Amino acid sequence: MDQLFTGLGLRFRYPEDWELSEELGEDEACITVNSPSTAFWSVTVIRERPEPLDVIRAVVQAYEEEYDELDLIESEVEVAMRQVQAIEIDFVCLELTNTAHVRAFQTDVSTILVLYQLNDNELDSLEPVLDQITSSLICDTDISPLQ
């Protein structure tokens, strides 16, 4: 984890050979890091502070609209030193099983959505990397992220 992203009230580390992109909007900002293969990790800052479960439901709905069959596993996990709502979404795309990991929580000023996805072929090599990126996430709740 050689690279450090700092901005929007967030900090996280990611591998040097992954590409970072930013989509900044008025009410929402998304930072994505893409692996050299198909795996990716993203964090979205939502100013309006929707309920984390509503955000997760919206993500699940988007996957349901795109893929015929989903397996869902709900849980709570720790992200950014908080217990957060989480769901794993398993689905088939191009004859590969894929897994999307979805986490959502609120800070004092926004709702944070963490989403990362990979396929079966990447599971052993990249899931630990995606988990490390998630573990490195720090949120500064005193900063209004979209100002």
pLDDT tens-digit series, residues 117-143: 999 999 889 999 999 999 999 998 645
Element (H, E) at 112: strand 111-119
pLDDT digit string (tens) for 57-84? 999 999 999 998 999 999 989 999 899 9
Tally DSSP H helices, then E strands, for the chain. Answer: 2, 10
pLDDT for 140 equals: 82
Residue 69 to residue 16: CA distance in whole angstroms: 35
In which residue are the tokens 């005193």 written?
142
Domains in the chain: ranges and CATH: 3-139 (3.40.1000.10)
Element (H, E) at 7: strand 3-7
pLDDT for 94 equals: 79
Q: Give the pTM.
A: 0.92
Would you call 79 helix, strand, or coil by DSSP?
Answer: strand
pLDDT for 107 equals: 92
pLDDT digit string (tens) for 7-31? 999 999 999 999 999 999 999 999 9
Q: How many CA atoms lie within 13 A of 127 on its CB side?
A: 11
pLDDT digit string (tens) for 25-50? 999 999 999 999 999 999 999 999 99
